[in-house]
Amino acid sequence: MGKFFKGLCLSSLIALLLPGLAFAAGGGGVAPMVLVADTRKLDGIMAWWANMYNESHVQFTLLTVIIIPVVGVIFGLIADVVMTWIGIDLKHRELAEH
Amino acid sequence: MDWLYILMPIAGVKIFWPGLIILGIGVGVIGGFFGMGGAWMVTPGLNILGFPMAFAIGTDIAHMAGKSLISTMRHGKFGNVDYKLGFIMLFGTVVGFEVGAQMIMWLERIGRVDLVVRWLYIALLMFITYMVFSDVAKRKKKEREALRAGKELDKLATGLEWHKTFHKIKIPPMVHLKTAGIYCSAWLPIMVSLVTGWLAGILGIGGGLIRMPSLIYIVGCPTHIAVGTDLFEVMMSGLYGAATYTYKGRTELVAALIMLVGAAIGAQVGTVATKYIKGYGIRIAFGCAVIGCAVSVALKLIPTYFPGLRDFTDYAATVVVLAVVSALAIYITVRMVQGAKREVAAKKAFLGPQAG
């Protein structure tokens, strides 16, 4: 796990140091147009989220980029617990074919 | 049945959320098993669910980043990720992708770029299909010959052996990729990542579909290492892509998180399934996925010559992609469940006499 997180941190740093050099996976150009979220039908956390989108794309992006990996790691750890409980060995792979 | 629909706060449309979870599971299974992001599968699925296309790519990439992270963590534990190789390839992938994307803008100014891209895509997919199935056929031939000679074929034997030729190029610096078990010139993975990144940039795809077979046939990685290392690359490009698309306001995080719920389950199933399926089993299934993708791209090319058929071919392309995704996801899930059952039973049988 330590090796994985070290790798993840270093890679994130590389990606941050190369702004504009990479395009997204599944990329292609995005046409310039302004999108505004309609918050009239929303309340609670959804309204807060949509308001943040309208007010600051920077904050919206920062939160998105933090939330996605955090949620991914949480789901991964939950799955670890469930699969270990079932009895699946998650640390070894016996098949060693090319 | 209103509770089955959720209002997307940014896009402002109501989406059938169980559909997003099912799509996430299917793409998660296939992505975790083959080591790819799967943008070519997600877009038609989101289309069917009525997702606005302005948000489709960004949402897809955001969920892909999370899903690939989960799969990379799991593959890392199995020892399937060669981080050194991943880092070497990261630079080439990024630079190659940018060159490809710039080239596509230049082609757009000339015109008819769609046609060029689609034909290139089909040619590439046909080449990958040829590589995979000729490799499988050659290995089977070797197996038969070994059997006739009364021997057993080496487990590490391969059908196509192009990587051995590439390994003979000794341009310094040389690198030892311990996890992959490869000693080669550092220029080999750099050039492979540049070319695959460039192709991905031109085609507007993540690149897993091209990078995974390249890692096997050119760099010479064992199948499982190719899958794990490719997912590491997908994760990195996915994180960066999620940031850039979100900054442009094109990501619907609520939908991405709902998909991630399904993808988290699917990615675990797909990744754990690689534990029970031999490398060549993965290659054959991958070949089938590539054929499905090629057919869908070919169907989208038909209206260029026969505009009247557009509605039919668009519909047929979507059906083909979803059928291939469903069939492969079911196959992988069944194999994973069978393997896990065998493993649990073997453990019980081992522990039973000891407990008694």
Please give chain B's pLDDT, 356 residues, in tens: 788 999 999 988 899 999 999 999 999 999 999 988 888 788 778 878 888 777 888 888 888 889 999 899 889 988 899 999 999 998 888 888 888 878 877 877 777 677 788 888 889 999 999 999 999 999 999 989 998 988 888 877 888 889 999 999 999 999 999 999 999 999 999 999 999 988 888 887 778 889 999 999 999 999 999 999 999 998 888 888 888 888 888 889 999 999 999 998 899 899 989 888 888 889 999 999 999 989 988 888 898 889 899 899 988 988 888 888 899 999 999 999 999 899 889 888 887 766 55
Query: Best of A3, A75, A86, A90 to disrupt the B interface by mutation (most B CBs within 10 Å)?
Result: A75
Q: What's chain A look like in SS3? A: CHHHHHHHHHHHHHHHHCCCCCCCCCCCCCCCCCCCCCCCCCCHHHHHHHHHHHHCHHHHHHHHHHHHHHHHHHHHHHHHHHHHHHCCCCCCCCCCCC
> Under a CB-based contact definition with an 8 Å cutoff, are residues B306 and B271 in contact?
no
> Under a CB-based contact definition with an 8 Å cutoff, are residues B47 and B318 in contact?
yes
The rounded distance, in Å, linking the Cα atoms of B273 and B339 is: 8
For B160, the 3-state DSSP assignment is coil
**Residue among A76, A90, A93 minimizing CB distance to B224:** A93
pTM score of the predicted model: 0.83
Q: CA-nearest residue of chain A to B41? A: A26
Per-residue confidence (pLDDT) for residue B129, from 0 to 100:
94
Tens digit of pLDDT at every position of chain A (98 positions): 566 666 656 655 555 554 444 444 444 444 555 678 888 888 899 999 999 999 998 999 999 999 999 998 998 888 888 888 888 777 776 655 55
**Residue among B66, B72, B101 minimizing CB distance to A27:** B101
- Cβ contact A68–B105 (<8 Å): no
The rounded distance, in Å, linking the Cα atoms of B122 and B290 is: 10
- Cβ contact B236–A11 (<8 Å): yes
Closest to B42 measured CA to CA, from B301, B219, B260, B298: B260
How far B61 CA lies from chain A's nearest CA (Å)? Answer: 7
- Chain B contacts of A24, Cβ < 8 Å? 57-58, 61, 237-238, 240-242, 244-245
Domain boundaries, chain A: 38-89
Q: What percent of chain B has pLDDT over 90?
A: 42
Q: CA-nearest residue of chain A to B262? A: A75
**C-alpha angle with apex B289: B288 to B292, nearest 5 degrees?**
90
Distances (CA, A) of B192 to B36, B102, B185, B211: 16, 19, 12, 8
The rounded distance, in Å, linking the Cα atoms of B66 and B263 is: 9
DSSP summary character for residue B60: H
Domain boundaries, chain B: 2-349
